[in-house]
Amino acid sequence: MTCADCSSDPGLLLALNGADERLQLALGSLAPGAAGGAAFLAAQEWTVPGSAVRFLAPGIKQVLDSLSLAAKDIRRIACVVGPGSFTGLRMSLALAQGLAAATGAQLAGLDHLELLASEAAQCLEEDRGAVAALVWSRRGQVYAQAYTRKAGQAAPLGPPQVVALAALPEFFATLPRPLSLLGGGLRRNLAFFEELAGRDPGLRLLPALWDAPRASALLDLASRAAFGPQAIEPVYLRASDAEDNIAAIAAGRGLSAAEAQAILDRGSRPI
């Protein structure tokens, strides 16, 4: 039995995003009916890379307290599952699933690249061309996915990928123009993309306000998600730095690579 079974009050929708530098939460009031959406109530944002655990739980409590609401009022929790920051994703997902276990709320995972592209598709004036959402992936790479824009909606042109900066011209070559680029992966490698756009007039570099979604866009995508009782798991797309460097890390701690891998495997099980 979930909380929704216990009351005629449709309750609250909580949406969380710990996938990038800007940590976000948005709270909405669920409308009656399966497809009723959610009315925006409040939001909090912090630019605190790697510190989700210190801010997110107190932030949720502060928002609920300010509205004279309680955690038991939360019926649905949506959390961005990636791709993005390994630490931010693990911390925000752990909190979402712990809160769901305590309240009986149902869960849904949200795609980070879709979240970025959906807002651009709805808000950019020109209703043609494509959008490429780019999220920072370290090591001279970005997480990338392209979407067409039609009638204010974003439809994927292919799967999400990890793309080296040097391979991006080829990745972009077959995509419709104008091609709008946005996200933290753009901002972190701005000089590279400015040079690329200088050679390709069909590329448009969106300003920094597009690096992260608005809280209202996070809540909107969450209100259209498919919720259920199942656990949600992170989407990383690439191996973590710890996995790639496990032999060196293990040696520094007096462990064999096999012992370190066993520890890593235990910590990587679904929450």
Per-residue model confidence as pLDDT tens digits over 17-35: 999 999 999 999 998 865 6
Cis preceding-peptide flag for 83 (omega within 30 of 0) = yes
Residue 115's Cβ-count burial label (10 Å; 0-12, 13-18, 19+) is: buried
Query: 126 pLDDT exceeds 70?
Result: no
Average of per-residue pLDDT across 196-213: 96
- The secondary structure element, H or E, covering residue 79 is strand 74-82
The CATH number of domain 3-112+214-238 is 3.30.420.40: yes
Domain segments of the chain as ranges: 3-112+214-238, 113-210
Its CATH architecture, for the domain 113-210, is 2-Layer Sandwich (3.30)
Cβ-based neighbours of 135, under 8 Å, separated by 6 or more: 19, 20, 83, 84, 112, 113, 116, 142, 143, 144, 183, 184, 185
Predicted pLDDT at 123:
83
Q: Tell me the Ramachandran region of residue 138: left when phi exceeds 0, alpha when psi lies from -120 to 50, beta otherwise.
A: left
Query: 53 pLDDT exceeds 90?
Result: no
Give the 3-state secondary structure percentages of the chain, helix then strand then coil, rounded to 5. Answer: 40, 25, 35
Strand 141-150 to 161-164 pairing: antiparallel
Distance, in Å, from the CA atom of 271 to the CA atom of 99, rounded to the nearest integer, reads 12
Report the predicted TM-score, pTM, of the whole model to 2 decimal places.
0.86
User: Is the fold of 3-112+214-238 the same as that of 113-210?
Assistant: yes
